[in-house]
Each structure stands twice: as structure tokens, then as C-alpha cells.
């Protein structure tokens, strides 16, 4: 049985080097060896977040980290703003409503980003807000929100915390948490960080810690003060995902070897442009415009005249190329091409070539090789 070529927006392919790192002999999380691993990994991962603050490791998926960010900073009845531009912005809405926050939703159409001016106008008509929740990279639509600009507006218009979901992009895009004024930034292991699911990372600003300390959250397992207290000893309050920490340590070294997060982000940007150029050359419509297009995932509409479900099933069964379909109102309308983490321009050329082969199987009208040539031009230009 052949393995499929996984081009989903998470989980993503795992490099062999990371698999080997995660096969190390297991250690106890209450030993000097673990403390050394923990402290070294924190120091290595800080530049990826763009912060000097302590980064906490939760043995959980990204959704738990989002909930931790919410329940540790906000109490029932507090006013919050949630910017939602797709399914994962709606996750934040659901979390906040579940905990009985007063949610003021700034909602954009799926496929659009939130602009700084839109947020400014919204905040000027909102009551006193305790936190603004926003999604850096919206996995359901392939939108990258202008987080630096949005965070600046929040600081100018309110005293609210800036809480950012970076689950599907940290490790693949620029992130300057301290410089941009982000108070809490979270991500998960199974996206651009190239690891299996099961580890989430939470970075917290000094200002956010002051709010957390005054909030007196009722949560136990997701109590960030507990994680902070144990982090000072180089440990976690509960049993951590030790093997994933081995892997994360190696991820950070891979990124450093590439030239740092700036070079890694540049590679992701090149791959984004390759995919977009290829689809344009094949006359396949993209969901988003270029201005806010994600470097880690591209949302692509069904090729004209082809049933998308049949096309994706054919790609997977004949060519072993596996894409994710659309979510919510975009189900059956788009497919999502993940190009994050362990993915390189050569992988984009491979995927475009197989897409072209499948298009020929469906008698789609196009010039054979047009998509590959367009993607090649983008790549070759980036290497000059």
C-alpha cells in the first residue's frame, strides 16, 4: 500500500529527523534531565514567537490552548471582542460563549481579512472590552489577518488584552509578539512545527500575567498560573508530552539551520506564491486575494465543470495526493492546499504536476504544463 502525499493544513508531514528525535529513551518529567530539555527548548523556541517571555508547554491540542487563554484572562460577564473570518475564529466565539463572556463579534465574510480600520471603528462603538481575540491564520479560508496592525489598533483604542490564535502559522510566518504588543500567542504542534498532534505552546506577556493573577480562574488543568509556577523550576504541573518536547527541540534546531525563522517564513511565502501562480495559470479560481493570502495554506475553488468531491477522490486514489476539503459553508466548494512545515518548493512542483495529470483525466481545458511552468518561474525568481 502506497503512502499518500499529505498536503493538508494539519496534521502535516513529519521529517525523519524529528521521528528519530522522538524515539529517544523516555525520561521522567521530575528529573534533572527533563529540566535540561525543558529549559533548552524554551530558549530555542522563543525566537520563533518573537518573545523574551516564558513559553508554556501544554500536553493538549491547540483548542485547549485557546480555551486556556480565554478562561485565565476573562470571567463570566466580561465584555470581549472576537474577530472571526472563518471556522477557527468561530471557535473562539464558541469558547467565549461557553464561559458566558459578553461576546461582541466582528465578523467578516469567509475569504476576507479584517482590516485595521474596520477593527478601529468596531472598538469605538463597543463597551469597555477586557480582551480582543483574533486568528492570525484562518485555516478554513487561507486568510492571514494583519495581526501587527490589528494589535496596534487594540492598544490605541482600548486597555484590552490582545489574544492571538497562531495555531496554523507559527513556525511558518513572522511572529514578533513583544514588538507587536501581543499579550497571549498560542500554537499547536501539528501544523508548521512539523510534529504530531498533542502539544500546544502558550506565550504570555507581563501585562497578561497581571490580569491572570487578578482573574482567579476556576479551571484546574488549564490554569496557566500553575504552569508558570512549575516553569520556574523547568517542569510542568502534570505529565508533559515528553517525546513531543524532544521533537520540538529538534524542530527549533532545523529552523535555526535554515537561517532562522525569517528564512523559514520566506520559504513559506515562496511556496504560497508558487501555488497561486500555478492555479492562475490553470484558470482555477482562488478564494482569497493576494493581499491577505496565507503563506501556509491556500484555499482553491473547484475547477470549472468538475465535481470537487470526485476530483479530490481521484487525486487521492490514483495519484496518492491528499488535500483537505472545505469547512462550513465552503464544504464542497473549495479544497485546501497545505504548504507548511516540512514542505519545500519541490513538493509544490510535484503537487501541481499531479493536479495537472488529474485535470487531464477529467478532460479539463488547459495548456499542459502551464501550472508547472508558472510555479517554476516564481521559484527560480526567488533564488536569484
Angle at 168 between CA 341 and CA 62, to 5 degrees: 115
Closest CA to 63 of 32, 92, 23: 92
Question: What does the alpha-carbon distance between residue 337 and residue 357 come to, in Å, rounded to a whole number?
Answer: 17
Closest CA to 165 of 142, 141, 139: 139
Question: What does the alpha-carbon distance between residue 152 and residue 159 come to, in Å, rounded to a whole number?
Answer: 11
Maximum Cα–Cα distance across the chain: 63
Partners of 106 in beta bridges: 83
Strands 334-338 and 321-322: unpaired
336 is in an annotated binding site: yes
Q: How far is CA 228 from CA 12, 176, 204, 242, in A?
A: 29, 21, 10, 18
Q: With H, G, I as helix, E, B as strand and everything else as coil, classify residue 377.
A: helix
Residue bearing cell 486575494: 289
Annotated binding-site positions for substrate = 336
Annotated binding-site positions = 336
Amino acid at each position: 500500500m502506497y503512502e499518500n502525499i499529505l498536503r493538508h493544513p494539519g496534521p502535516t508531514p513529519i521529517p525523519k529527523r524529528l521521528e528519530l528525535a522522538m524515539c529517544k529513551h523516555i525520561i521522567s518529567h521530575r528529573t534533572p534531565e527533563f529540566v535540561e530539555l525543558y529549559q533548552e527548548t524554551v530558549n530555542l523556541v522563543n525566537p520563533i514567537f518573537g518573545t523574551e517571555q516564558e513559553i508554556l508547554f501544554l500536553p493538549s491540542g491547540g483548542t485547549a490552548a485557546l480555551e486556556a487563554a480565554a478562561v485565565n484572562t476573562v470571567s463570566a460577564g466580561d465584555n470581549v471582542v472576537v474577530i472571526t473570518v472563518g471556522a477557527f475564529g468561530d471557535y473562539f466565539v464558541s469558547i467565549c460563549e461557553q464561559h458566558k463572556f459578553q461576546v461582541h463579534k466582528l465578523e467578516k465574510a469567509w475569504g476576507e481579512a479584517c482590516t485595521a480600520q474596520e477593527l478601529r471603528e468596531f472598538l469605538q462603538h463597543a463597551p469597555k472590552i477586557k480582551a480582543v481575540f483574533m486568528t492570525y491564520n484562518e485555516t478554513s479560508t487561507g486568510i492571514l489577518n494583519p495581526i501587527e496592525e490589528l494589535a496596534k489598533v487594540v492598544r490605541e483604542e482600548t486597555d484590552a488584552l490582545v489574544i492571538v490564535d497562531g495555531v496554523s502559522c507559527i513556525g511558518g510566518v513572522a511572529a514578533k509578539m513583544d514588538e507587536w504588543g501581543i499579550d497571549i500567542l498560542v500554537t499547536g504542534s501539528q501544523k508548521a512545527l512539523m510534529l504530531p498532534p498533542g502539544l500546544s505552546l502558550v506565550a504570555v506577556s507581563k501585562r497578561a500575567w497581571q490580569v491572570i493573577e487578578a482573574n482567579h480562574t476556576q479551571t484546574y488543568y488549564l490554569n496557566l498560573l500553575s504552569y508558570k509556577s512549575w516553569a520556574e523550576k523547568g517542569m510542568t504541573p502534570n505529565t508533559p508530552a515528553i517525546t513531543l518536547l524532544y521533537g520540538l527541540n529538534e524542530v527549533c534546531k532545523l529552523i535555526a539551520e535554515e537561517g532562522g525563522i525569517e528564512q523559514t517564513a520566506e520559504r513559506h511565502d515562496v511556496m504560497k506564491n508558487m501555488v497561486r501562480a500555478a492555479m492562475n495559470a490553470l484558470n482555477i479560481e482562488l478564494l482569497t486575494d493576494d493581499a491577505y493570502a496565507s503563506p501556509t495554506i491556500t484555499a482553491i475553488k473547484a475547477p470549472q465543470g468538475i465535481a470537487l468531491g470526485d476530483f479530490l477522490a481521484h487525486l487521492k486514489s490514483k495519484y496518492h495526493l491528499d488535500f483537505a476539503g472545505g469547512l462550513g459553508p465552503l464544504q464542497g466548494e473549495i479544497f485546501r492546499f497545505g504548504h507548511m512545515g516540512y514542505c519545500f518548493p519541490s513538493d509544490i512542483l510535484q503537487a501541481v504536476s499531479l493536479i495537472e495529470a488529474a485535470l487531464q483525466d477529467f478532460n479539463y481545458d488547459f495548456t499542459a504544463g502551464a501550472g508547472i511552468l508558472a510555479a517554476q518561474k516564481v521559484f527560480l525568481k526567488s533564488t536569484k
